[in-house]
């Protein structure tokens, strides 16, 4: 029997590329959909049949019947937020308990991790990361320092382990002089979430996934955030705390590199970033505001304004390299429908130096642009490549040439139906 493969679907810039929608479209081709990194800092929006769902921890394969969904060991999970998210889906008629398995090795986000997230951000003053406030950094820090609690801990002696860790967090918060907080209600919900989570299959998902691969089943690894937010390869320290790149699929699901098949890299026809940190393509003018407004670029988790700019080929080339992207998926082409000129950042410049390689620190670098004619046509009603206006075809061909990677899917609207395969 031929072994199955793990295909990866990764955001390759700053997240918010629309992974949820594509996973949902791809799911019928796979047996398992698995999240391998991140936690409720993600907000994967899926719209179909007039209904909108925002998934945070649950894989976007949950809407398809007969598919197994897995929250892998590389993820962090907050029981209260998980309960809220899962109950919304249950109320909408989706059966979760039989189709969602959670790794015993995934780490738990405690209410006090969230307080620590706020306290550490406050202590940073001007250098705030602008986190989502979901306790991501403190939870992954604790994983690395080997003091965290894992989902498997819910099954034995949990209350005592919880009290010990919470006391340690309270001590740290006192040392940070951050004492003005009250988590009474949050903790009540969190403990309710713990009881709720125990009703799920809390299992050794790495064994389950590898067994499935041996049986010839295929897995879709659903990324969270994006390459530029990766703890190693992103714009450190303005990053999230996990490996969002393809290497994170192996560590975050417990699968060998040889099991990786296609690596789909998702990007938008323009760029966005939420939170602080350098962003060489950022537009501070009316064009940036127009992209934000037309593209509804407001955070799915925090509601914050997303910073907007033109597409960034320096970042994309770097991401394609570190992830080994085999196919590109371009989202939200329709957002640029009304612009007479489309710009693409082809290099960065600083103090007379020009580079096409991602610098160690992108602070102070500005974009060098190439201008291309806009298509000025409504793309949202198009259903096939044959109907694309020539200028849009040219934009795609330009990106493929520059990035040396084929664009195989373009999305021209939020609905499942507005997803067009090329070639
Ligand atoms: P954290 O992951 O909450 O620690 O946030 C770290 C940085 O990553 C902040 O700049 C966030 O705005 C950003 N971030 C985290 N998750 C997402 C996401 O799903 N989409 C876009 N940005 C994100």
Phi, psi of 363, deg, nearest 5: -55, 130
Cβ atoms of 254 and 73 within 8 Å: the answer is: yes
Q: Annotate 16-41 with DSSP letters as a single string.
A: -S-HHHHHHHHGGG-SEEEE-SB-TT
The answer on pLDDT for 125 being more than 90 is no
pLDDT above 90: percentage of residues in the chain: 90
Cβ atoms of 255 and 210 within 8 Å: the answer is: yes
User: For residue 38, which atom of ligand 1 is closest to its CA?
Assistant: 2
**Residue 41 Cβ contacting ligand 1 at under 6 Å:** yes
Q: Is the pTM of this model over 0.75?
A: yes
Cβ atoms of 100 and 62 within 8 Å: the answer is: yes
pLDDT tens, residue by residue, 129-149: 999 999 999 999 999 999 999
**Residue 11 Cβ contacting ligand 1 at under 6 Å:** no
Instruction: State which of 225, 233, 244, 273 you would mutate to test the pocket of ligand 1, scoring each by most atoms of that ligand within 8 A of its C-beta.
Output: 225
pLDDT of residue 44: 82
User: For residue 242, which atom of ligand 1 is closest to its CA?
Assistant: 2
Instruction: State which of 14, 41, 243 you would mutate to test the pocket of ligand 1, scoring each by most atoms of that ligand within 8 A of its C-beta.
Output: 41
Per the prediction, the chain carries an average pLDDT of 95
pLDDT of residue 183: 97
Residue in 24, 31, 44, 230 annotated catalytic: 44
Mark whether 16 is an active-site residue. yes
- CA-CA distance, 326 to 189, in Å (whole number)? 43
Cβ of 252: how many Cβ atoms within 10 Å? 27
User: For residue 302, which atom of ligand 1 is closest to its CA?
Assistant: 12
**Residue 137 Cβ contacting ligand 1 at under 6 Å:** yes
Residue in 7, 16, 24, 80 annotated catalytic: 16
Q: Annotate 292-345 with DSSP letters as a single string.
A: HHHTT-B-TTT-PBPEEEEEEHHHHHHHHHHHT--EEEEE-GGGGTT-SEEEEE
The answer on pLDDT for 300 being more than 80 is no
- CA-CA distance, 257 to 242, in Å (whole number)? 18
pLDDT tens, residue by residue, 227-258: 999 999 999 999 999 999 999 999 999 999 99
Instruction: State which of 114, 124, 275 you would mutate to test the pocket of ligand 1, scoring each by most atoms of that ligand within 8 A of its C-beta.
Output: 275
pLDDT of residue 65: 86
What is the pLDDT confidence band of residue 295, given thresholds at 50, 70 and 90?
A: very high
The answer on pLDDT for 52 being more than 80 is yes
**Residue 76 Cβ contacting ligand 1 at under 6 Å:** no
Mark whether 44 is an active-site residue. yes
pLDDT tens, residue by residue, 104-123: 999 999 999 999 999 999 99
pLDDT of residue 53: 86
Question: What sign for the dihedral angle of Cα 57, 61, 64, 69?
Answer: negative
The answer on pLDDT for 161 being more than 80 is yes
What is the pLDDT confidence band of residue 48, given thresholds at 50, 70 and 90?
A: confident
Give the residue whose CA is nearest to atom 15 of ligand 1. Answer: 41
pLDDT of residue 54: 87
Q: Which run of H or of E encompasses 222? A: strand 219-222
pLDDT tens, residue by residue, 10-35: 999 999 998 888 988 899 999 999 99
Q: Within a 13 Å sphere around the CA of 60, how many CA atoms are in the beta-carbon half?
A: 28
pLDDT tens, residue by residue, 177-227: 999 999 999 999 999 999 999 999 999 999 999 999 999 999 999 999 999
């Amino acid at each position: 029997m031929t072994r199955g493969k793990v295909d990866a679907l990764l955001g390759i810039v700053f997240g918010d590329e629309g992974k949820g929608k594509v996973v949902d479209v791809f799911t019928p081709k796979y047996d398992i959909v698995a999240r391998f990194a991140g936690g409720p800092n993600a907000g994967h929006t899926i719209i179909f049949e007039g209904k909108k769902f925002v998934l945070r921890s649950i894989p976007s394969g949950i809407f398809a019947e007969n598919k197994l969904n897995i929250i892998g060991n590389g993820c962090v999970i907050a029981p209260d937020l998980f309960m809220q998210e899962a109950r919304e889906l249950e109320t909408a008629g989706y059966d979760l308990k039989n189709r969602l398995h959670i790794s015993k090795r995934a780490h738990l986000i405690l209410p006090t991790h969230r307080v620590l997230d706020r306290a550490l951000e406050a202590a940073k003053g001007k250098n705030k990361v602008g986190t989502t406030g979901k306790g991501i950094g403190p939870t992954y820090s604790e994983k690395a320092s080997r003091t965290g609690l894992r989902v498997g801990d819910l099954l034995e002696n949990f209350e005592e382990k919880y009290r010990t860790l919470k006391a340690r967090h309270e001590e740290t918060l006192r040392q940070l002089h951050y004492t003005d907080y009250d988590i009474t209600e949050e903790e009540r919900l969190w403990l309710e979430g713990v009881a709720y989570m125990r009703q799920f299959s809390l299992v050794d998902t790495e064994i389950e996934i590898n067994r499935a691969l041996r049986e010839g089943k295929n897995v879709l690894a659903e990324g969270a955030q994006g390459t530029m937010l990766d703890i190693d390869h992103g714009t450190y320290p303005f990053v999230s705390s996990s490996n969002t790149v393809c290497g994170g699929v192996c560590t975050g699901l417990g699968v060998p590199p040889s099991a990786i098949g296609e690596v789909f890299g998702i990007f938008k026809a323009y760029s966005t970033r939420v939170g602080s940190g350098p962003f060489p393509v950022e537009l501070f003018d009316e064009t940036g505001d127009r992209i934000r407004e037309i593209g509804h670029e407001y955070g799915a988790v925090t509601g914050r304004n997303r910073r907007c700019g033109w597409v960034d080929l320096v970042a994309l080339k770097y991401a394609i390299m570190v992830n080994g992207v085999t196919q590109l998926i371009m989202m939200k082409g329709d957002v640029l429908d009304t612009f007479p000129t489309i710009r693409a950042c082809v290099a960065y410049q600083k103090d007379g130096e020009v580079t096409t390689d991602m610098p160690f620190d992108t602070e102070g670098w500005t974009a060098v642009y190439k201008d291309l004619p806009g298509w000025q046509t409504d793309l949202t009603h198009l259903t096939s490549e044959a109907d694309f206006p020539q200028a849009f075809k040219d934009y795609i061909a330009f990106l493929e040439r520059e990035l040396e990677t084929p664009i195989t899917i373009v999305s021209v609207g939020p609905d499942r139906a507005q997803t067009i395969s090329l070639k």
